[in-house]
Chain A
Amino acid sequence: MIDFTLLGELLPVFGQAALRTLVLVAVGMAGGLVLGFAMNAARETGVRALTALYWAYTTVWRGVPFLVHLFIVYFGLPSAGVRLDPFQAAALTLAVYSGAYFAEIFRACWQRIGRGQIEAARCMGLTRRQVFTHIACPQALRASLPLIANQAILVMKESALASVITYPELTMTAGKVVAEQFVYVEPYLLLALAYWALAVLINRLGGYLRRRVAL
C-alpha cells in the first residue's frame, strides 16, 4: 500500500530536486538551442567546411548514447585538464547533445521553405543574409516550435542520467531515498509524477508560445 504520510514527507525533497532538474534542463536547452541554431545557420551558408562540420557534429552527437557522452565529458575531460563539477558537466553535455537534435529540427524547417520564395527574394535584390533573417527565420522558427517542444521533453528525460555522475536531480534523489529508507513505491511514484508534471509544463509552454507567434 502507499504510505501517504511518507509521501507527504518526501514532497519537499522532491520539489527541490524537481527544481534542480528544471534548471539543468533549462540551461541545457538554452545552450542546445543556441548551438543548434548556429550550426544550422552555418550549414545554410553553403560553405563546404561548415557543412562538413555540421554533418560531423549532428551524426556524432546523435549517434552515441547520451550516457557515453556524459562519461567522456565528466570522466574524460579532466585528463585534458578540464575539470567540471557534476552540474557543469551535465548541463554542457545536455546542451551539446540536444543541440544536435535542434540543429536537425532547424534544418528540416529551413528546407521546408519553398524554393520560389527564396528565388523571389534573391531576384528582388535581397542578400543571402537578408533572406535568412527576413524570409527564412520567421517561417522556419514558427514551424520548429512544436518540434522543439517535443524534443524538450526528450531532453528533460535524458537529464535523469545526470544522477549517474552524482548531480542531485530527481532520479538521484529518488535513488537516495530508496537506499537510505528501504522504501520503493513512494519515491518512484513521486519520481514518475514529477517527470510527468515537468513534461506537461513543457508542453503547455510550447503551446503557449505557438499561439503567441501564430499567423
Chain B
Amino acid sequence: MDPNSSTRAGSAPVPMVSMRGVGKSFGSHRVLSGIDLDVQAGEVVSLIGPSGSGKTTLLRCMNFLEAYDEGEVWIRGALLGYRKTGAGLVPESDRGIAEVRSPVAMVFQQFNLWPHMTVLANVMAPLTLAKGMRPDRARAVAGEALARVGLSAKADALPGALSGGQQQRVGIARALAVQPEVMLLDEPTSALDPELVDEVLEVIKSLSSDGMTMVMVTHEMSFAAEVSDRVVFMEQGRIVAAGTPDRIIRRPDHPRLQAFLRPWFRRSLQGSAAAGAQA
C-alpha cells in the first residue's frame, strides 16, 4: 500500500476504514457522537447494541449513505464525502464520493435486490454499469460470485421467486462480485425466517475465513462471538465498549453491556441445558 495515499500515514498500515470524532444528528435528535473506530485489513468487526443505539447509522456513515456532520471518515486513507479546502470541509461531488467508496460494498437487511432483473443481472449490473466491465467478462465474474454463495442454479430466476435466505445470498454475491476490500453488512439475517438464518451465516463465515474485511451490525450474539475479531458495543450513539469477543460477549465486565447481554445469556444457557438433557 502506498503510504503517501494517506495524509496521516505513520509506520502502522493505513486502516481500511477510519472514523475520527464522527457525529450525526437527524434534526435535533443526536444519533452518533464522538465515534472513533479503525477497521484494519482482514478484520471482522461486529457492532452490537440495543435498537436505536446508532449501529446502523454508523455503518451507513462508512459508505456515506448517511452524511455524517461531524468528524471524518477515511476509506484507505482517502477522506469520504468531503473535500478539505482552506475554508474547511466542503461536500464532495457524487463522482468523488463514488470513487472513494468504490472499495466498499454493502449487504442490506432488506436485501434491496432489483426485482425487475434476474439474479444474474442483479450481480452483473454494478460490474457493467459502474465498473464499465464488458458483458461477457461481467457474466463470468457474476457467475463465480453466484457459485460462491451456492446459487448458480438460480441465475435466471427473478428475486421474487427466491426465499429470503436465497435473496440475501444474492445480495452477498452482488457485493462480492465488485471485489470489495471492505464489506458492510447491515443486520443481514434480521429479515429472515429463523430456519433461513444459518445458510446466510454460513456464507458470511466462509468470507471471514477467506480474510474478507467486514463490518457487521448484528443481533446474532453467538455468531458475532464466533466470527468477529473485535466486537463494538454501542449505546445512545456512542461506543461504550470494544474488544475481543471474549471480553465483550463471553465475559462482559461493563454493567450496561451485561444488562444488554443478559437475555441472550439466559437463552443460550437454556439452549445448552436442553442440549445437555438430550445428550
Q: Which residues of A contact B (CB under 8 A)?
A: 114, 116-117, 119-128, 130, 134-135, 138-139, 142, 215
In the complex the two chains form, is B115's CB within 8 Å of A124's CB? no
Q: Report which of A120, A126, A138 forms a contact with B106, defined as CB distance below 8 A.
A: A120
Residues of A within 8 A of B130 (CB): 124-127, 130
Given A117-B112, A124-B174, A215-B116, residue A134 in contact with residue B125 (CB < 8 A): yes
Q: Report which of B94, B108, B129 forms a contact with A120, defined as CB distance below 8 A.
A: B108
Q: Report which of B101, B106, B129 forms a contact with A134, defined as CB distance below 8 A.
A: B129
Given A116-B108, A116-B110, A120-B106, residue A126 in contact with residue B125 (CB < 8 A): yes
Q: Report which of B65, B110, B126 forms a contact with A125, defined as CB distance below 8 A.
A: B126
In the complex the two chains form, is B114's CB within 8 Å of A135's CB? yes
B131 lies within 8 A of chain A by Cβ = yes
List 24 interface pairs A-B (beta carbons < 8 Å), by A numbering.
A114-B112, A117-B112, A119-B112, A120-B174, A121-B114, A121-B126, A123-B64, A123-B65, A123-B105, A123-B106, A124-B125, A124-B126, A124-B130, A124-B178, A125-B98, A126-B125, A126-B126, A127-B130, A130-B129, A130-B130, A134-B129, A135-B114, A138-B116, A215-B160
In the complex the two chains form, is A139's CB within 8 Å of B94's CB? no
The answer for the CA separation of A68 and B12 in the assembled complex, in Å, is 74
List the B residue with the shortest CB-CB distance to A118.
B112
In the complex the two chains form, is B116's CB within 8 Å of A120's CB? no
The answer for the CA separation of A119 and B63 in the assembled complex, in Å, is 11
Report the minimum CB–CB distance from A113 to chain B (whole Å).
Answer: 10
**Interface of chain A, helix or strand or loop or mixed?**
helix
The answer for the CA separation of A126 and B63 in the assembled complex, in Å, is 14
Residues of A within 8 A of B113 (CB): 117, 120
Report the minimum CB–CB distance from B98 to chain A (whole Å).
Answer: 5
B122-173 interface with A by 8 A CB criterion: 125-126, 129-131, 158, 160
Residues of B within 8 A of A120 (CB): 106, 108, 112-114, 174
B236 lies within 8 A of chain A by Cβ = no
Interface-centre pick from A124, A127, A130 (highest chain B CB count, 10 A): A124
Binary CB contact string for chain B from 46 to 82 against chain A (1 if under 8 A, 0 otherwise): 0000000000000000011100000000000000000
Residues of B within 8 A of A130 (CB): 129-130
Residues of A within 8 A of B178 (CB): 124-125
List the A residue with the shortest CB-CB distance to B130.
A125
Report the minimum CB–CB distance from B84 to chain A (whole Å).
Answer: 23
Residues of A within 8 A of B174 (CB): 120, 124
B104 lies within 8 A of chain A by Cβ = yes
The answer for the CA separation of A14 and B106 in the assembled complex, in Å, is 62
The answer for the CA separation of A215 and B117 in the assembled complex, in Å, is 9
The answer for the CA separation of A26 and B174 in the assembled complex, in Å, is 43
In the complex the two chains form, is B116's CB within 8 Å of A142's CB? yes
List the B residue with the shortest CB-CB distance to A139.
B116
Please list the 5 inter-chain residue pairs (A to B) with the smallest Cβ-Cβ separation, ordered nearest first. A125-B130, A120-B112, A116-B112, A124-B126, A138-B116
Residues of A within 8 A of B64 (CB): 123
B258 lies within 8 A of chain A by Cβ = no
In the complex the two chains form, is B131's CB within 8 Å of A123's CB? no
Q: Report which of A122, A123, A139 forms a contact with B104, defined as CB distance below 8 A.
A: A123
Interface-centre pick from B105, B115, B160 (highest chain A CB count, 10 A): B115
In the complex the two chains form, is A215's CB within 8 Å of B126's CB? no
In the complex the two chains form, is A123's CB within 8 Å of B115's CB? no
Residues of A within 8 A of B101 (CB): 123, 125
